[in-house]
Structure 1
């Protein structure tokens, strides 16, 4: 009986497992774009409510050409097909970028470096201060994911415990300072959470990728948030010092077309001109040739290196340090 089950399990696995090999290439055959597009649609169509049209195929084909060009020109990063490849740059920025307005520095608190001497490399995931990669979906809520990632990290670091997954949907629904799926700022989120009493667990207020009625429940607050503010960072050395001092930090950067199709390696961009996308800074390191920042995104594990980016350090790449925020938890 057990042997029969094993045979059936192997057989059904082989029948229903799809090989998406055409999506994972260093160079895409544009003349075979329709076959690549069909695999793309099979992988991402249902999850992202995509429509299979000639227009989308043409956009997809043009993006393949760009990806091929970037891969030829880059010696440290790789680019590839992901959930964005049938969208134009304007469509992506309109839907997924959730930090609105100019870089906010009027109320920022100047960070004075403490002269901390950290290790040669740092990865707060290894300390347990970072929750698994999440997916903001088709909602401009990156500000909520950056802010909640900061709160998760601050709490874990303060209490020397494993990070617990907190609710971004609570922010999208209840933060009256921000604009739901149309953007906001992480430091606004911290202020809102102070008023809410803190942050609920993800399991008690799951993510829906749309703004709805606020259902915050003070009896289910998992982490009490007592404050938070924007930090004015004057250099990348100061940013590293703040990362060592506080733990994972909410940040926002400029992005460009290359950013959306990043697949791995150290990203040294040439086109980061569009403000702004919120992320979580979780570490730094060196790959033997390049110093980099380690950044957690909220575009699922299909983007980047399982949801992470290594961004070139020392060149203000994508304006890193232009916006940094830090929460205070109890």
Structure 2
């Protein structure tokens, strides 16, 4: 893409924010639910009303979940007291996971439950309420006084999603990055692609980031599949928060005549470097990154700064931009836990002045971005390991849509992000794309697709 065009498209995103996308001064108006940030006197009964839990009073499940909630509430108070004492820049608050067990929460960060594990009623209900939680018109609780320096603001970009009791963060973040590029090319804000197609259909024989589907994969695998087969719109294959049987061979089956989005490849940004990520956010749009989200559950607002240098990268999210608040630089991250978590579904994460020197070790890469046969540990840099594995889709386009007759107004625009000479553009072998796969795992996207097609033909 010519630099002038890229600058013009970027302006389309940044100018509206300057013209009042964010309310002037202070916090946005809060809905009744958002007012829950007043923690004193907040009860389990109020939590049940706020989050539509159907526990029967006096039942064993009610008592068990009440005990979990009370422990979570005590942890929120303890965290806020510690943060105030240590001068940290964020606050904890009420969130949708207050009545979840630790094992249930870990599913959101790539944790793979044992065979036969049954998800609780609380977890199942969270997904059932996804349309209310993930697409709510609840006013943003994002502080309007901070300055956006690069990329998108929290008000802009792809719609929020709620992954529910499924480790599909890798699929959701990959889809949202593509949607963001489609928006840059002129597609309407209502454009939503099917993350379920990736959950159901992406093969993962080398167990990169998990065992596939709701048990985890990587953005690179998602883009290899989107390059070869594309994915349909969400309206054609809605999200279910579970791994289902993939439809017939996508290339020749029902997707062949569907509207679908494809990519020509992806760019792997230099690992553990801040400037290439910042540059990509401005010139190309949101970037899929892997992070350690194990300490994120209680986050409510502010600039999060509580990850240790050593990190286990088990969660994929969408980096949207960066900025500063009261002299503290941060990365702006869109999560996949719904709009009732954090700052309207977002977290602002501290960006150190020496971000590339803020490094530690991931001693369990196989639980996040690593593959079978990969290294036993890897060096990860940046708050929560954000700099280790940034991935950007390339050559995004919509197919099967006639802009002259399309009644949904999706058009047939093509988003072609400007390449970066600091990134590795990938259109084939995953060995060249994933830090976790580069150490001899021999993951090959073409071979995986061939195996997938053979499996379909034999079924």
Aligned Cα RMSD in Å?
2.9
SS of residue paired to 2:215: coil
Q: How far apart, CA to CA, are the structure 1 residues paired with 2:154 and 2:299?
A: 23
Q: Which moved more, 1:228-237 or 1:77-86?
A: 228-237
Q: How far apart, CA to CA, are the structure 1 residues paired with 2:199 and 2:391?
A: 18
Aligned match of 2:301: 264
Is 2:385 aligned against 1:319? yes
SS of residue paired to 2:235: helix
1:181-196 matched pairs, under 5 angstroms: 181-196=214-229
Normalising by structure 2, what TM-score? 0.56
Q: How far apart, CA to CA, are the structure 2 residues paired with 1:98 and 1:221?
A: 30
Tell me, which stretches of 5 or more residues in structure 1 are unaligned? Answer: 1-17, 30-34, 101-118
Aligned match of 2:346: 308
Q: Residue 254 of structure 1: CA displacement?
A: 0.9
Structure 1 pair 239–136 and aligned structure 2 pair: CA distance change class (3 A): same
Q: How far apart, CA to CA, are the structure 2 residues paired with 1:54 and 1:120?
A: 45
Q: Which moved more, 1:272-281 or 1:305-314?
A: 272-281
Aligned match of 1:105: none
Structure 1 pair 162–46 and aligned structure 2 pair: CA distance change class (3 A): same
Aligned match of 1:98: 110
Q: How far apart, CA to CA, are the structure 2 residues paired with 1:132 and 1:47?
A: 27
Decide whether the 8 Å contact of 2:270 with 2:276 is kept in 1. no
Structure 1 pair 220–309 and aligned structure 2 pair: CA distance change class (3 A): same
Q: Identify which of 46, 67, 72 aligns with 1:63.
A: 72
Q: Identify which of 62, 86, 91 aligns with 1:53.
A: 62
Normalising by structure 1, what TM-score? 0.77
Aligned match of 1:73: 82
Q: Residue 287 of structure 1: CA displacement?
A: 1.5
Aligned match of 1:287: 325
Structure 1 pair 295–28 and aligned structure 2 pair: CA distance change class (3 A): same
SS of residue paired to 2:79: helix
Structure 1 pair 312–19 and aligned structure 2 pair: CA distance change class (3 A): closer
Aligned match of 1:121: 149
The Cα offsets for residues 54-84 of structure 1, whole Å up to 9 and x where unpaired, read as 2322222121111112112324211111111
Structure 1 pair 241–99 and aligned structure 2 pair: CA distance change class (3 A): farther
SS of residue paired to 2:226: helix
Q: How many residues are paired up?
A: 283
Q: How far apart, CA to CA, are the structure 2 residues paired with 1:181 and 1:325?
A: 20
Q: How far apart, CA to CA, are the structure 1 residues paired with 2:54 and 2:181?
A: 32
Decide whether the 8 Å contact of 2:266 with 2:393 is kept in 1. yes
Decide whether the 8 Å contact of 2:288 with 2:391 is kept in 1. yes
Q: Residue 208 of structure 1: CA displacement?
A: 0.9
Q: Residue 161 of structure 1: CA displacement?
A: 4.2
Structure 1 pair 246–21 and aligned structure 2 pair: CA distance change class (3 A): closer
Tell me, which stretches of 5 or more residues in structure 2 are unaligned? Answer: 1-30, 113-146, 205-210, 356-381, 398-459
